[in-house]
């Protein structure tokens, strides 16, 4: 059994993937850490899967999985977590912005803090575009409120987790999962360490600002009651405003300032409450849509192919279960 599992979702990274795996392997081998590297091809449109297969032929520590459809980074990462075997599991991106040499800092922090289940790497200065950095800050604040994250803790995709936490995360059966939500709903023993954020070696990020906010909205709706609470607060505020309007226009009526009694009040109330009702229906509609997807019981992903090394590991696991 490997001591360390490295899980890397892969998408459009064929040109530099071999170099990344060489650096990750070198870092772990230099410190005599038994390890496995799990690569999940998220139905990448380039030749990433062929590159993964070539790497796995020459590196027995590499196991590859190809998803049948593009499921997104979170589902691909969950696929890797479910097939990981290490006592400590590290998740990282495939674009070199999570530096391979800093994997050791995450592992050391986890080993030096036995009371912790997860260490999240945070970055003082991210090498992202201005709009993405701004979007990340806003989304992180939303996540902190929605997931009831411990004060002062920030979420991150560059993380190290103990096996028990990985098993707890994988036990959840949610169609649209959020790893931050799954982690913080499973444990409060989480800490941050500061790491350096590197620039992308090539290409550009696949996360637009629109995708970031859509992902954040989906996560919040699935993980918390925050939107419904906002609807409740909006309804409460609307009731207070309507009461104030009733008093205001009643006083104006008594003072003779309204020449067409009732007309202004009706128009204002109809306009205001129509907006509130439509807003509430929109949020409820989102929840109903998600409920319908959940009750279908659709799998999170389908594995189209595996490398030979991955097949052997899966067979061993099945034999052990029997």
The band of 262, judged by pLDDT with boundaries at 50, 70 and 90, is confident
pLDDT at site 112 = 97
Rg of the Cα trace of the chain?
25
Range among 48-57, 138-147, 176-185, 249-258 with highest mean pLDDT value: 48-57
Distance CA 299, CA 125 (A): 37
pLDDT-wise least confident of 36-45, 114-123, 265-274: 265-274
Q: Considering all CA atoms of the chain, what is the largest pairwise distance in Å, rounded to the nearest integer?
A: 90
pLDDT at site 35 = 97
Residue ranges per domain, the chain?
A: 4-220+299-321, 226-295
Task: Give 221 or 284, the one with higher predicted confidence.
Answer: 284
| CATH architecture designation of domain 4-220+299-321 | Alpha-Beta Complex (3.90)
Q: What is the pLDDT of residues 22-35, one digit of tens each?
A: 999 999 999 999 99
The band of 192, judged by pLDDT with boundaries at 50, 70 and 90, is very high
Contact 304, 49 (CB under 8 A): no
Interval 117-128 mean pLDDT: 80
Interval 297-316 mean pLDDT: 66
Task: Give 69 or 200, the one with higher predicted confidence.
Answer: 69
pLDDT-wise least confident of 129-133, 235-239, 261-265: 129-133
pLDDT at site 317 = 46
Residues in the chain: 322
pTM of the model: 0.72
What rounded mean pLDDT belongs to the chain?
A: 81
């Amino acid at each position: 059994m490997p001591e360390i599992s490295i899980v890397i979702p892969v998408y459009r990274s064929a040109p530099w993937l071999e170099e990344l795996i060489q650096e990750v392997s070198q870092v772990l081998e230099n410190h005599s850490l038994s390890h496995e590297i799990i690569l999940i091809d998220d139905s990448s449109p380039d030749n990433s899967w062929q590159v993964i297969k070539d790497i796995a032929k020459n590196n027995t520590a590499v196991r590859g999985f190809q998803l049948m459809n593009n499921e997104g980074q979170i589902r691909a990462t969950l696929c890797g977590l479910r097939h990981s075997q290490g006592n400590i599991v590290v998740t990282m991106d495939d674009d070199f912005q999570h530096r391979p040499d800093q994997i050791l800092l995450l592992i050391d922090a986890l080993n030096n803090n036995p009371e912790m289940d997860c260490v999240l790497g945070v970055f003082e200065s991210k090498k992202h575009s201005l709009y993405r950095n701004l979007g990340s800050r806003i989304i992180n604040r939303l996540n902190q409120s929605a997931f009831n994250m411990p004060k002062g803790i920030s979420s991150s995709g560059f993380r190290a987790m103990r096996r028990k936490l990985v098993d707890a995360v994988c036990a959840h059966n949610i169609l649209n999962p959020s790893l931050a939500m799954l982690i913080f709903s499973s444990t409060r023993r989480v800490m941050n360490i500061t790491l350096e954020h590197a620039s992308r070696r090539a290409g550009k990020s696949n996360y637009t600002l629109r995708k970031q906010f859509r992902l954040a909205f989906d996560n919040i709706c699935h993980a918390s009651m925050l939107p419904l609470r906002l609807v409740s607060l909006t309804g409460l505020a609307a009731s207070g405003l309507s009461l104030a309007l009733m008093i205001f226009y009643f006083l104006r009526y008594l003072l003779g300032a309204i020449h067409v009694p009732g007309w202004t009040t009706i128009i204002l109330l109809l306009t205001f409450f129509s907006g509130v009702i439509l807003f509430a229906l929109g949020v409820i509609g989102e929840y109903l849509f998600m409920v319908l997807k959940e009750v279908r019981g659709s799998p999170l992903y389908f594995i189209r192919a595996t490398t030979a090394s991955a097949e052997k590991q899966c067979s061993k696991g099945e034999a052990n279960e029997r």
